[in-house]
Structures are given as C-alpha cells and as structure tokens.
Amino acid sequence: MAVQELIFKGERLRVERLPYSVFRLVLARPELRNAFDAVMIGELLQVLSDLATRPSKELRVLLLVGEGKTFCAGADLDYMRAQALNSAEENEADARRLGMVFHRLAAFPAPVLCGIQGAAIGGGFGLAACADIVVADPDAVFALSEVRLGLLPAVISPFVVRKLGLAQAAPLMLSGRRLGAPEANVCGLVQALVPAETSLEVALQAHVLELLQADDVDAVFLDIRM
C-alpha cells in the first residue's frame, strides 16, 4: 500500500496512514536492529495512546513492522548499562513504563498484525506476543535471551503466558532457548509463515485484506497492493 500520510516521525519510529484505514507503525532504528531504549519506549507509549483514541472506522488495522533486516533485537545494551546504575525506584519506574507499552498494544482496540523478519528477541518477542496475528519469515528466530544475562523476562511474561500458555512459555522464559519460526508457529506465537517465493510484505498484504473483509463486506472487492 502506498503511504497516504506520515502521522508521526520520531527518533526511533514512525507511523504511516495507508489506504483503507490501515495504519503502519514502523520501528525505525535499523542501524541497531530496532533495539529498545528509553526514547523508543517513550515514543511507543505516545503513539499507541494516540492511535487507540481514533474511531474504529478511521483505524481498522494496525500493522506493526521493523525497518531493516531485524524486527527487534530487544533492549539496547547502552540502555541496559545505564539502567544498572539507576536506583531501584528508577528501575521500577522504567519497568512500569515498558510494561505499559505491552499493555497498550495487547489491549489495542483494532486488530494488530505484526510482521517479523530476522529476529524478535526480548522485548521484540514481547511485541509479537501482544499482537493478534504474527506473520514471520520462515528463517526468523525468537528468544527471551535476557535470562542468560541473569535478567528475568518479568515485564513481558504476562503477555507471553497469555499467548502461549504456561506449559509453552515457562521453558522459553527459563532457558532463553532460540525458537525457529516453524516451531513458533506450532506453539502459537506465530500464526502464519511467509510462503515460499513470497515476500513478507506480500504475505502481510494478504492478511490485511482478510481483516478488512471481516470488518466490511465491501472490502471483498478491494485490490490491495502495498
């Protein structure tokens, strides 16, 4: 779909309006594999809050993607080092802000469709867990690897358990094991794999059309090309 309007352009992400009341939220920090830091968290809080207030006919689908070769590599290492120097109260406040990002995405009033390429690690895994539909390249990988650094994936754990169930989530949260996209599809984190000879963009396009058709019978006749 061609971009109709740039709704928001920040330091770490942008929001685009596409045809047929579809909005695209782009993690736009490809030079650092779209890693989380305080700036990105603040911008996500802002745009998710603003977008959630739009009428349902104005925003029918939210498409969440990452720019570049990696969807999201988790937390920025410099951000994590800075957190290590913070007080317990400051770290708790940071955790609450990050938790609110996942809560707002999980409770978003329109369907959230997420496209994954490369990897979804840590917080990137959390974003995927909060989406309604996840479409992934077959070679994408998922992991909660922060546990191997001595950090519990505590902030995202409610959303991972909600998505996968405790039996599937606990081994991943306790081990940090990498999960390939086919296995993520089987366990329910990923709802669809990109078919052979098809790009992620084209696969997402097909799922957007399905969602629009469910929302409006006239959308059966739409010709959507991203």
Angle between the N-to-C axes of helices 123-130 and 157-164, in degrees from 0 to 180, rounded to the nearest 10 = 50
Strands (E), 1-58: 5-9, 13-18, 22-27
Which residue in the list 16, 31, 146, 197 is annotated as catalytic? 146
Active site residue 16: no
CB-based burial of residue 89 (10 Å sphere; 0-12 exposed, 13-18 middle, 19+ buried)? exposed
**Cα–Cα separations (whole angstroms), residue 88 to 13, 92, 96, 155, 189:** 28, 6, 12, 15, 32
3-state secondary structure at position 147 = helix
Q: Which of 11, 159, 155, 29 is nearest to 94 (CA)?
A: 155
- Which pair of tokens denotes residue 126? 């959390």
Total number of residues shown for the chain: 226
Q: Which residues contact 80 (CB under 8 A, 6 or more apart)?
A: none
Phi, psi of 6 (to 5 degrees): -90, 110
Active site residues: 146
